[in-house]
Structure 1
Amino acid sequence: MADTTSTRIEFDGHVQTIGDATILRFPDRASAELPSRGQVAVEAELNGRPFETVVEPDGMKGHWLAIDEELLRTLALDDGDPVTLEVRPTKNWPEPDVPQDFRDALAEASDIADTWDSITPMARWEWIRWIRSTKNPDTRARRVEVGISKLRSGKRRPCCFDLSACTDPDLSKNGKLVDAV
């Protein structure tokens, strides 16, 4: 059974496309009800369709939700379409999708498999968020390498990045979610 808080947050909004991504911004009042200015694990329903995800910070004390391709197709959503979102923060974080470059590095570093498996899903989200937070392929490759090294030395979380910033390099500028292009 899910370990949710009693907070149920519901609002109407509009799907927004930024570059290749489709998102839903939280209104200020809805974002203020979340338990953190950073990432928040939630059980959600978008137009009645349930799923689990992590809500992202926008770098301006607000939040946004990525809408994946499957959900877009299932709900037949396009840019600007109205939607209703209901979220319930939960302590049970879903497993993140590990990007291929980091997955390959973890597979090659079999000596840290127990360390990776022993950290929480929340910590795994932080590692992946840190690795993905650059557009520069050389910087990203270095972060994968450094991440493996840090895990090998016993570090359970990446260090030194703003957890309340928008870190998606395709959606942010100076740590803030950009407007639709």
Structure 2
Amino acid sequence: MTTADVKSRFEAKLLRPAKAGNDTTWAFVVLPKDASEPLPRRGRTTVEGTINGHPFQATLEPDGQQSHWLRVSSELLEAAGAAVGDIVPIELAPVKKEPEPDIPVDFEEALAASPEAREIWNKTTTIARVDWIHWMTSAKQVKTRAKRIGDACDMLAAGKKHVCCFDPSGYYSKAFRAPEAEDI
């Protein structure tokens, strides 16, 4: 694994989300502020590390409180020999190079229909693309998501390389937060 020199080590309790939807097999951890502070950004950021000694790579989500939270999949729980309620050692470091985000199908189709937007999209940085996609996919309603995709294509076609008016940390807009934990 290739990581930056900054590593955070801490212990945390694996929590079950109170509103997990149809998938109740995952858990999460809210990072302590001192583990989140050295990360390169308050928005989505990718890290590599270990949980209970098992290596993983994941994208941390902003918690709206200038920190991050980590979604722990059922596969990672099993591989790490851990369960909801366990207190586990975690080690994290930011990756040296943020991986390219997956482009949602609906946005890919919109880019295909707008060569001007596609041209600027291809000239943006990886971090800018992460923020664009996060802005679109964080919409709570299908209608809002569709509008954001249209707006993104319009802004990109106009030459904007960064999404405007979007707080990727959720701190100022309170748009993001860690899940509420179920009482265990």
Please, what TM-score do these two structures have when normalized by structure 2?
0.78
The runs of at least 4 consecutive aligned structure 1 residues that moved more than 6 Å come to: none
What is aligned with 1:144?
149
The Cα shift of 1:78 comes to 4.0
Matching of residues 135-174 of structure 1 within 5 Å: 135-165=140-170
Cα distance in 2 for residues equivalent to 1:22 and 1:148: 35
2:116–2:156 CA contact under 8 A, matched in 1: no
**109-118 or 145-154, larger mean C-alpha shift:** 109-118
The Cα shift of 1:70 comes to 4.3
Whether 1:109 aligns to 2:114 is yes
RMSD: 2.9
Q: 2:102 aligns with which of 93, 97, 100?
A: 97
Matching of residues 1-181 of structure 1 within 5 Å: 2=2, 4-18=3-17, 19-20=19-20, 22-68=27-73, 70-72=75-77, 74-75=79-80, 77-165=82-170, 175-181=176-182
Q: Which amino acid aligns with 2:144?
A: T
The runs of 5 or more residues in structure 2 that have no matched partner are 21-25
**57-66 or 71-80, larger mean C-alpha shift:** 71-80
The Cα shift of 1:48 comes to 3.2
Cα distance in 1 for residues equivalent to 2:8 and 2:39: 8
Closer, same or farther: CA 47–113 of 1 in aligned 2, 3 Å: farther
The Cα shift of 1:94 comes to 1.3
2:15–2:29 CA contact under 8 A, matched in 1: yes
Structure index of larger Rg: 2
The Cα shift of 1:89 comes to 1.8
The structure in which a higher percent of residues are strand is 1
Cα distance in 1 for residues equivalent to 2:93 and 2:115: 36
The runs of 5 or more residues in structure 1 that have no matched partner are 167-172
Please, what TM-score do these two structures have when normalized by structure 1?
0.79
Q: May I ask how many residue pairs the two structures share in their alignment?
A: 176
